[in-house]
C-alpha cells in the first residue's frame, strides 16, 4: 500500500512540533539543511545523516544506451548522479 509523500509544509510542521520551535524557524532549518547537502554533493562530496543515510555524488562513465521506442543504440556521455544509501537503523525501523 503506497501513501502520498509528505509535503514540505507537513514536514516543516512536524519538525516544528518535535523540536519545540515555530514553523518559520523549522522552515529555515530545513532550507539550510537542503542547501548544505545540495552544495556538498554537487561538489563531489558526501553527507552522512545519522539514522537516515548517506548522500553522495557518483560518476557514471560514458556508455551505450538504447532508445526503447526505436531500438536505436547511442552513446550517452559520462555524467554524475546523486546516490542515497539508507542507514541500517532506518532499515531496521522499516522492517520491524
Write out the three cell numbers for 1: 500500500
Question: Could you report the per-residue pLDDT of 23-44, keeping only the tens digit for each?
Answer: 999 999 999 999 999 999 999 9
Domain 45-96: assigned CATH number: 4.10.520.10
- Rounded Cα distance between 87 and 89, Å, is 5
Report field, pTM of the whole predicted structure over 0.85? no
* DSSP result, 9-73: HHHHHHHHHHHT--HHHHHHHHHHHHHHHHHHHHTT-EEEETTTEEEEEEEE--EEEE-TTT--E
Q: Which residues of the chain have pLDDT under 50?
A: none
Helices 8-19 and 23-42 pack at an angle, to 10 degrees, of 110
Predicted local confidence at residue 3, as pLDDT: 84
Position 65 scores a pLDDT of 94
- Please state the domain extents for the chain: 1-43, 45-96
Read off the C-alpha cell for 61: 562513465
pLDDT reported for residue 19 = 94
Amino acid at each position: 500500500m503506497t501513501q502520498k509523500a509528505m509535503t514540505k509544509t507537513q514536514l516543516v510542521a512536524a519538525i516544528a512540533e518535535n523540536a519545540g520551535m515555530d514553523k518559520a524557524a523549522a522552515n529555515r532549518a530545513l532550507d539550510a539543511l537542503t542547501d548544505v547537502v545540495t552544495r556538498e554533493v554537487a561538489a563531489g562530496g558526501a553527507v552522512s545523516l545519522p539514522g537516515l543515510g548517506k548522500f553522495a555524488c557518483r560518476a557514471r562513465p560514458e556508455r551505450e544506451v538504447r532508445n526503447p521506442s526505436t531500438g536505436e543504440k547511442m552513446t550517452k556521455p559520462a555524467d554524475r548522479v546523486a546516490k542515497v544509501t539508507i542507514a541500517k537503523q532506518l532499515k531496521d525501523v522499516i522492517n520491524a
